[in-house]
Amino acid sequence: MGVLDTAWLIREYGLNKRGPLEIIAERESIYRLLAQVTKDNMNKAINKYTIDPKTRYVSLESSLQPEDVVQIVSSDNPRLAPIGQPLIMNNSRSVHTNPDLKKYSTWKFCYQALLPYKLKMSDMDLCWNDGRALAGLLAKFRPEILDYFSVISMDAIEDRIKVVLSAVEQYMGISAPCAASEWVGIGAAVKSSYIGALVDAIRVRNQPAGKPKCKTLEDDSLHYTKRPQVDRLDPELVQKVEKMVTGDLLKEQALHLQNEKDRQVPRVAQKIIKNDVIEMEKRLENSGMGVLYNKKEQRSSQDEKVQWFRGP
């Protein structure tokens, strides 16, 4: 249940139709209800369960409000978190009104893109003077217009810069800010502006236009898989499984056990035959463990002498 509830939370957060505080409040309410889950407060139709909590819990009430979960939001100022409003998504082109944020976004993009080339991007000025960073950035996203290894194999820095600037202007439509020989001497602001325009063009080109439409395959191109031959199920086993699922099998076993007990009770409590009682009494009379003893066995030798003198 916890996994399904977490999946519902991720779905709601991804749709971005409700505020984050409202989603978290709903999640906390469900989490409290999860500890009290029993058969009574769960829907009986298990086959209709989905990640939506309403399909699983009978009484789903939000015990918490968005204002109650503000303290668990990780933010510098959680009181400013929007309540009941979806989050404001960032622009896909990462266009910032603040020039410092724009510059940082461009540097971060270049830093992550040039990591495979083992180029350290410490700033937006000196690191771009030798032309290797420009060649690596263009070759990573447009390998069809520039070969990175052929460019860095050139000895002259001016030749590297010339090849990269020409390729960018020809295929991406971005004019060079200066000649190749003047690239090293221009200011950091001009370089940063040119590299920022190059990064924006790369982002726009690599941004997916939308979901690709699935092509309908023709019948001839479909792969036919032969249906495996399956033996027919035993009707008795199928009926037994159905009884196990519905609980009828347990009821039949309990009824059979009760009937067996009812049959054994008359056998134990049946009346003893009179002949058996007489035979048992005779055995007790002749036994030393019984209550009745034979009088002849109780006579001593002194009693026998007295009886002999007296006579019969």
CATH code (residue 123): 1.10.418.10
Residue with more model confidence, 304 or 235? 235
117 plus 184 within the same structural domain: yes
Residue 231 lies in a domain: no
* Domain carrying residue 244: 239-310
104 plus 184 within the same structural domain: yes
For residues 96-113, average pLDDT: 82
Where b means 16+ CB within 10 Å and e means fewer, 199-214 reads: bbbbbeeeeeeeeeee
- d(CA 73, CA 22) in angstroms, rounded, equals 12
Question: Has residue 211 got a pLDDT over 60?
Answer: no
106 plus 68 within the same structural domain: no
Residue 211 lies in a domain: no
∠ CA(36), CA(39), CA(41), 5° rounding?
60
pLDDT digits (tens, 9 = 90+) for 118-137: 888 888 888 888 889 999 99
- The H-or-E segment that residue 151 falls in is helix 148-152
Contact assessment for residue 130 and residue 184, using Cβ atoms and an 8 Å cutoff: no
Residue 219 lies in a domain: no
Contact assessment for residue 207 and residue 234, using Cβ atoms and an 8 Å cutoff: no
179 plus 123 within the same structural domain: yes
42 φ/ψ angles, rounded to the nearest 5 degrees? -120, 145
248 plus 189 within the same structural domain: no
∠ CA(246), CA(252), CA(255), 5° rounding?
140
For residues 212-239, average pLDDT: 67
For residues 4-20, average pLDDT: 80
Q: What CA dihedral angle connects 66, 71, 76 and 80, to 10 degrees? A: 30
Residue 33 lies in a domain: yes
Structure tokens that stand for 274 in this block: 């009179």
Residue 148 lies in a domain: yes
pLDDT digits (tens, 9 = 90+) for 51-88: 887 777 777 776 777 667 766 666 555 555 555 555 55
187 plus 112 within the same structural domain: yes
pLDDT at 258: 85
- d(CA 159, CA 181) in angstroms, rounded, equals 9
- Domains of the chain: total: 3
Banded model confidence at residue 92, pLDDT cuts 50, 70, 90? very low
Question: Has residue 146 got a pLDDT over 60?
Answer: yes
Q: List, in sequence order, the alpha helices (H) in 186-270.
A: 188-206, 235-246, 248-268
Residue with more model confidence, 145 or 232? 145
64 plus 106 within the same structural domain: no
Residue 251 lies in a domain: yes
106 plus 194 within the same structural domain: yes
Task: Give pTM, 2 decimals.
Answer: 0.41
Structure tokens that stand for 265 in this block: 């009770």
192 φ/ψ angles, rounded to the nearest 5 degrees? -65, -40
259 plus 289 within the same structural domain: yes
Alpha-carbon separation of residue 106 from 102, 130, 135, 176 (angstroms): 6, 19, 16, 18
For residues 248-259, average pLDDT: 86
pLDDT at 284: 78
184 plus 103 within the same structural domain: yes
Question: Has residue 116 got a pLDDT over 70?
Answer: yes
